[in-house]
Structure 1
Amino acid sequence: MNSSRHRHPARLGLPVLAMSLIAVVGCSSADDGSSAAVPSAGAAAVKLCRNLDEVLPREVDGLSRQDPQPASELTAGWGDAVIILRCGVPQPPKMIDSKVAEGRDADAVAGAVDGVDWLMEKRDGGGYRFTTANRSAYVEVSVSAERADEDTSPILVAFAPAIKKAVPVGVAD
């Protein structure tokens, strides 16, 4: 990867992310009742996710942190479930799909934003799910349909420093 591409914050929307294809071989206090399934992660992933929880931003793309129920160090939210992060999720099946790696899957795209590799999947209902690749634990960021029509790159840019600090490059269990 070209290291100069990672020196400036990216503002990648869906079309630009699709063009930057790469090969690809979910916190704490609860608020008003939004929910997110807590991943069943192994001990190594849980440790990394706890570290991630400590460095996650308080605000993402203008939205304040509002964690979902049940309260967990493996989940976080911003903007009343507009953005949900789950850490320690299983590897998405599309991550090993050769059609995605070759750029032949219209519903999934692989790309990098600020030094973090992501798999982006369109979700039923119009939202997106982004899952980190090439990290020692999988981190999933879901963006609701209400935000999916906007440029989602500031969301991924906001998470990049925390992910790079807490979840090292490697192969997830």
Structure 2
Amino acid sequence: MDDSQGAVLADPAAAATTLAEASQSDLQAAIAVMGENMRVRSVTPLLPAPHVSEHLCVGSYTHGTVGVDDVGRIVGLVAVSHLQPEAPVEPATLTAVARHFVATSGAEGNYAHQNFFGGDDGESIGKWLKRHHLRFSSSLVMEFGKEPVVNTAPVPHAPKK
């Protein structure tokens, strides 16, 4: 998608072909680990919040890996908007955000008030993101055999007149 600057999304058939080609080696690795009888029963998209969709970066984290990159028991994806697009976001930073959402996917309450997983100073996820010049858009956590856990940034309130 980056190579075409999003143009591939204009033609669904071309997008499906591009996705199939790009994911072929990952699917082969997953089949090698999980067996040939593996079936994809559904696809759950990571849907960025429309109001937080500029300068998106996507991070991932896999928990309980089974010896192959990105194949494991729990997978988390996160989309964040980079507030300083002239500076790159480190892959480790994106992985840390995705790991936070995997670790807290069963937690109750608003994700924005949770302490950042892996931080030692009690900093909230919101403050951690702000410190790294990121704004949360959405997350998706899939645990093998369970329903996905989805979080999406709320629409900001309109100022009162």
Larger radius of gyration between Structure 1 and Structure 2: 2
TM-score above 0.5, yes or no: no
TM-score w.r.t. structure 2 length?
0.29
Question: Higher strand proportion, which one?
Answer: 1
By relative contact order (CA 8 Å, sep 6+), the higher-ranking structure is 1
